[in-house]
Amino acid sequence: MTRRVSAVPSLAGLRGEPNDTDWNDESIAIAKAQGEATPAAVKYLASKTIAERAFWEWLEEHKPAFDGVSLLPAMIFGPPTAYTASANDINGSLSEYKQSTECSHLSAAT
């Protein structure tokens, strides 16, 4: 029997400190106002907000025999999900990880 369902959305769905009231509603409003012209990053933020809110609303409405928990990773690292011609073309959190491990931003100790 299932006792708990875990959702793994993103901190992108929230604003400020993680709690049940600081939703990233601004991204949803921008996406609604700009439609297809909305930048991809704003669409991503809006989608994460909508998806997590839907998870909690579904649990509240259906009152299943199991509970829910939301894990909010700041970043998820793994292999790229899309082909890139060069490591320099990697984007997202994998790009940030790559930059942090290169140490090219550190100056030599004097």
- Enter the pTM of the model: 0.67
Same domain, 65 and 90: no
Q: What is the pLDDT of residues 32-51, one digit of tens each?
A: 999 999 998 899 889 988 99
- Residue 62 vs residues 23, 36, 49, 69, 99: alpha-carbon distances, Å: 22, 33, 20, 15, 44
For 40-90, the pLDDT digits (tens) are 889 988 998 899 899 999 999 999 999 999 888 777 666 767 777 777 777
Quick one: 30 and 51 in the same domain? yes
Do residues 39 and 14 both lie within one domain? yes
Phi, psi of 51 (to 5 degrees): -65, -45
Cα distance between the two ends of the chain: 62
Range of the domain at 88: 76-110
